[in-house]
Amino acid sequence: RGHGCGAAVFRQLGHAITWVLLPRAYVPSLCRDMPGRGGGSSSSSADVTSGCTIGEAFAKFQSEHALNKVVQPRTNLEWAYYQAGPASAASEALLFIHGTSGTAAAFFYQVQALAEKGYRVLSAQYPAYDSPQEWCKGFDHFLDAVKFRSVHVFGAGLGGFLVQHFAATYPHRLRSLLLCNAYATTNPFAEKAGPLTSVVHFSPTPLLRKVVLDMFPEGGMELSAQQAINFIAHQVHGISGDDLASRLSLNSTASSVGPLRLEQGRITLMESNGETMVPDELRRQLRQLYPGARLAQLKAGGDFPYLSRPDEATLFVEVHMRGVGVYPHGATPGPGDLPAGRELPLAAPALADASASYTAGLEPSVGVWRDEPHIEAQSARREQWTNPFEDDLL
């Protein structure tokens, strides 16, 4: 990649990519997923819930879960994935798709926790594709390879953008959708990039990695968010140059998501608290595009809530799955379970402590999960602890 070019050319290319092709204000998935400057060791990242570092927790996960690989037919394109949970035919699968700088490791906390609860979970890492349409074809082949007719999908950043394209192209293969700090168009990034988008395909791998590392913001974030960045920094060094170039190109080539035939009540929009690298205009646009979707406002800040506050992110994922009628081990809803679309007051301390709301078109301060017109939620009548997944019918 890039053999025969001098060091001066590479330096100029790096400046061009950094300041023209990928300006800081318009690099949603790149900056939100990319590690901090100079990277950082994953061993400095702490899992506040278990007392061990993120790197240590992932090492333990790796010792218990193999990284599987499948090759797309008639190509050399290879998908990698972790999986866990029951493999029975009755179990509906939930599949995680990473953003620009992610890998299959990005969601290891969710794979482990949800599998322990009885859900079938996969986290996939996709190879290099030239367009969202090619990516959708590749994902379709991947689902065939892992023998799923349809799945529930969690997409973060660029991954969320791509799975929306997939939902529009292959609606019969998608059961529900979770979009975390995602967006529905890359047009603003393409306008800034101009014709320089194609330059990334001729850039050497070390330069692409350096651009990725240098562009992630420093400072002004909570400790857990910085620790998550450090873990991602370690993972970026394992991503090939072809994959990085493809992701940067996908993120900077003009494209918008087409109409989805998926019922909006089966879509959840997950947003980190405070500022992220997804511009506010695109966050607002996504909410307007899916007015009937549920909004999960997380307490977690930063761009990797599934790593910085994994328990909170996992909780909302499980709430989404229950909301679309999927329960652990393929169980069916009990007498106390409400179907999707019914009002669920936020009386559970586990959610109150998370200071989160799960709404449809409501302000984040409104503590109610719903996709119907707003009705004031009743306060809890008793002080004792309440199971967060035992629905209050009052």
55: left (phi over 0), alpha (psi -120 to 50) or beta: alpha
pLDDT of residue 382: 36
Is residue 325 classed as helix, strand or coil in its secondary structure? Answer: coil
Rounded Cα–Cα distance for residues 286 and 317 (Å)? 19
Quick: pLDDT tens for 344-368. Answer: 333 334 433 433 444 443 333 332 3
Is residue 303 classed as helix, strand or coil in its secondary structure? Answer: coil
Write the burial class of residue 93 (CB in 10 Å: 0-12 exposed, 13-18 middle, 19+ buried): buried
DSSP letter (8 states) at residue 294 = E
Mean pLDDT over each residue of the chain, to the nearest integer: 77
Is residue 319 classed as helix, strand or coil in its secondary structure? Answer: helix
Rounded Cα–Cα distance for residues 25 and 314 (Å)? 29
Rounded Cα–Cα distance for residues 135 and 295 (Å)? 27
pLDDT at residue 335 greater than cutoff 70 = no
Quick: pLDDT tens for 29-82. Answer: 333 443 344 343 333 334 444 568 999 999 999 999 999 999 998 889 999 999
Is residue 195 classed as helix, strand or coil in its secondary structure? Answer: helix
Report pTM: 0.77
Rounded Cα–Cα distance for residues 184 and 283 (Å)? 9
Quick: pLDDT tens for 112-139. Answer: 999 999 999 999 999 999 999 999 999 9
DSSP letter (8 states) at residue 332 = P
pLDDT at residue 273 greater than cutoff 90 = no
Cα separations in angstroms, 385 against 8, 220, 313, 345, 352: 64, 35, 21, 15, 11
Q: Which helix (H) or strand (E) holds 135?
A: helix 132-145
Supply the DSSP string of 33-89, one letter for each residue: HSPBTT---GGG-EETTTTEEHHHHHHHHHHHS--EEEE-TTS--EEEEEEES---T
- Rounded percentage of the chain residues whose pLDDT exceeds 90: 50
Beta-carbon contacts of residue 110 (< 8 Å; ≥ 6 apart): 96, 121, 123, 154, 306, 310, 313, 314, 317
pLDDT at residue 168 greater than cutoff 90 = yes
Supply the DSSP string of 80-101, one letter for each residue: EEEEES---TTPPEEEEE--TT
Rounded Cα–Cα distance for residues 42 and 63 (Å)? 17
Quick: pLDDT tens for 143-159. Answer: 999 999 999 999 999 99
